[in-house]
Amino acid sequence: MTAAGRCAAAAVGALLRDQPLSPGKVSLAWRAAVGPVFHRVTTVALEPEGTLRVGAADRHWARELHRSRPLVAARLKQLLGDGVVTRIEIATSSRVTAEERQSHARVGHRQRRPPAHR
């Protein structure tokens, strides 16, 4: 028996690989690879040479993405095809808006307080 998540990922990958490369395709593959929470706190752009530039809302999310990079790369390869994403660069980004961060906070995730407030 095949797990539903694995079956769905394979089906999405088969559909995506046959479509022309576009920002929308990359965004959809990114969301499928990382899930809704990471998608909400990141921005992505695929450079022509295959570098995926990821902007994370803050250092916490950048660190978590660095830890998950091998799994994310494998999922993107499955979804977009071999050789489309050759490298993943992760940095903090101001492009994730304050509204998106507040939306994330409302979902129930704790925000870190500065050390003086602990």
pLDDT value of position 56:
96
Read off the tokens for 7.
């079956």
What does the pLDDT look like over 83-114, one tens digit per residue? 999 999 999 975 555 554 454 444 444 444 44
pLDDT value of position 59:
94
What does the pLDDT look like over 22-39, one tens digit per residue? 999 999 999 999 999 999
Read off the tokens for 15.
């559909």
Could you tell me if residue 7 is inside a domain? Answer: no
Could you tell me if residue 78 is inside a domain? Answer: yes
Could you tell me if residue 50 is inside a domain? Answer: yes
Could you tell me if residue 13 is inside a domain? Answer: no
Number of domains composing the chain: 1
Confidence of residue 1 (pLDDT cuts 50, 70, 90): low
- The mean predicted confidence, pLDDT, of the chain is 80
Neighbours of 58 (CB within 10 A): 14
Give me the percent of the chain exceeding a pLDDT of 70.
69
Answer whether residue 68 shows pLDDT above 80: yes
pLDDT value of position 106:
44
Q: What is the mean pLDDT of residues 64-89?
A: 95
pLDDT value of position 11:
73
Q: Say if CB 45 and CB 91 are below 8 A apart.
A: no
Could you tell me if residue 40 is inside a domain? Answer: yes
Please name every residue paired with 83 in a beta bridge, in sequence order, or none if there are none: none
Could you tell me if residue 113 is inside a domain? Answer: no
Give me the percent of the chain exceeding a pLDDT of 90.
59
Domain harbouring 56, CATH code: 3.30.300
Could you tell me if residue 5 is inside a domain? Answer: no
Domain span including residue 86: 21-107
Return the higher-pLDDT residue of 106 and 41: 41
Place of tokens 């994330």: 104
Could you tell me if residue 112 is inside a domain? Answer: no
Place of tokens 């909400």: 40
